[in-house]
Amino acid sequence: MMYRVRHVTTYTYTDPVLLAHHQAHLVPRSFDWQTCHRTLLRVTPTPSGIDDRGRDYYGNPIAYFALQDPHSSLVVQVVSKVEVMEHSPPEPADTPPWEELVDLPERQQGAALLEIADYCFDSTLVRVSDEVADYARPSFPPGRPVLACLLELMHRIHRDFTYDAEATTISTPLTQVLAERRGVCQDFAHLAIACIRAMGLPARYVSGYLLTRPPPGRKKLRGSDASHAWPSAYVPGSGWIDFDPTNDCLVGTDHVTLGWGRDYDDVCPLSGVVLGGGEQVLDVGVDVEPV
């Protein structure tokens, strides 16, 4: 599938911002089953400097820009042409028992170790706890193939948790998400990652977009697609396998990947430091259109 992805972020400030430095993870990443053919980044007001050719520690495209004149609003628009190819995961029965993969970094070296090492341990927003381990354990009985474990964990999160955009913020701890059984895609991704790491396996956070389809007979609303997030787990012989607990499915051609890291903090779409500004209002619009 070929897509045109348009992501518009608008900040409106109650007081002028005097100086601002920002970084953006808004350019889709190219890898085995996805190719970003071109991207156009526009920032209003015009930055005093912009560098959009870099890569972060995890290899994701990253842009930096600075605004040195007073401004009361900021608009960052990125339009990309992205191709997502069909890709098939292995059959669950063909993957090894999960116990064989516990503490996998201890048996790896070189590039193979670097591929997974950062994704086995606690990170800023994903911390393993007794509550997380207790929730994860029923999906990992002795001898079960690892992909079967991951799929069962995905089904349980989808069944047990209610999508509620008002229930959490990005800093809500997983213990609260577990207790209240409510959250959004970032929460469900963080929970799945914590569960997988609690069992001694590597897992990472993937930031991206999801193509949404309008009800039959209705036109799609502009800006109605969504920034999205999901977990990815490493299976030797098969590589990273992405799955979506929010929608109870394996990640396919309806998902567009921006980048990946240990958790949301590593691939936050837009972040920065501003001097001034007072209160701010954020508006985000996303369009994912087949072309």
pLDDT confidence of residue 171: 86
Tokens of 1: 């599938």
Residues paired with 275 in a beta bridge: 19
Q: In whole angstroms, how far apart are CA 15 and each of 71, 170, 234, 277?
A: 9, 25, 46, 4
Closest CA to 193 of 128, 143, 131, 137: 128
pLDDT at 104: 80
Contact residues for 33 (Cβ-Cβ < 8 A; gap 6+): 84, 85, 86, 87
Pairing outcome for strands 162-163 and 2-24: unpaired
For the chain, what are the domain ranges? 2-85+268-290, 92-267
Evaluated on CA atoms 93, 228, 219, 6, the torsion sign reads negative
pLDDT, one tens digit per residue, over 156-205 is 999 999 999 899 988 899 999 999 999 999 999 999 999 999 999 999 99
pLDDT at 43 over 50: yes
**8 A C-beta contact, residue 226 and residue 212:** yes
Structure confidence by residue, pLDDT tens digits, 98-135: 999 998 877 766 777 778 889 999 999 999 999 999 99
The two tokens of residue 106 are 């201890």
Phi, then psi, of 95 in degrees rounded to 5: -95, 155
At the second CATH level, the architecture of 92-267 is: Roll (3.10)
Share of the chain above pLDDT 70, in %: 95
* Across 43-47, 175-179, 193-197, 211-215, least confident range: 211-215
Instruction: Give mean pLDDT, residues 7-21.
Output: 96
pLDDT at 114: 78
State the Cα–Cα distance between residues 278 and 280, nearest whole angstrom. 7
Residue 223 is predicted with a pLDDT of 43
- Residue 222 has, within 13 A of its CA and on its CB side, a CA count of 2
Per-residue exposure over 68-91, b if at least 16 CB sit within 10 Å of its own CB, e if not: eeebeebebbbebbbbbeeeebee
Phi, psi of 10 (to 5 degrees): -125, 125
**Residue 287 CA neighbour count, 13 Å, CB half:** 15
pLDDT-derived band at 216 (thresholds 50, 70, 90) equals low
154: left (phi over 0), alpha (psi -120 to 50) or beta: alpha
CB 36 within 8 A of CB 29: yes
Q: Burial of 253 by CB count in 10 Å (0-12 exposed, 13-18 middle, 19+ buried)?
A: middle
pTM: 0.93
For residue 236, what pLDDT is reported? 87
Tokens at 124, concatenated: 């800023």
pLDDT surpasses 70 at 227: yes
Question: Where would I find the beta strands (DSSP E) of 25-169?
Answer: 34-44, 49-55, 61-67, 71-84, 162-163
> How many degrees, rounded to 5, is the angle at CA 53 between CA 51 and CA 57?
105
Q: What pLDDT, on a 0 to 100 scale, did the predictor assign at position 218?
A: 63
pLDDT digits (tens, 9 = 90+) for 61-94: 999 999 999 999 999 999 999 999 999 899 999 9
* Whole-number average pLDDT of the chain: 92
Q: What is the pLDDT of residue 109?
A: 62
| Pair of tokens at residue 240 | 């990273």
Q: What is the CATH number of domain 2-85+268-290?
A: 2.60.40.2250
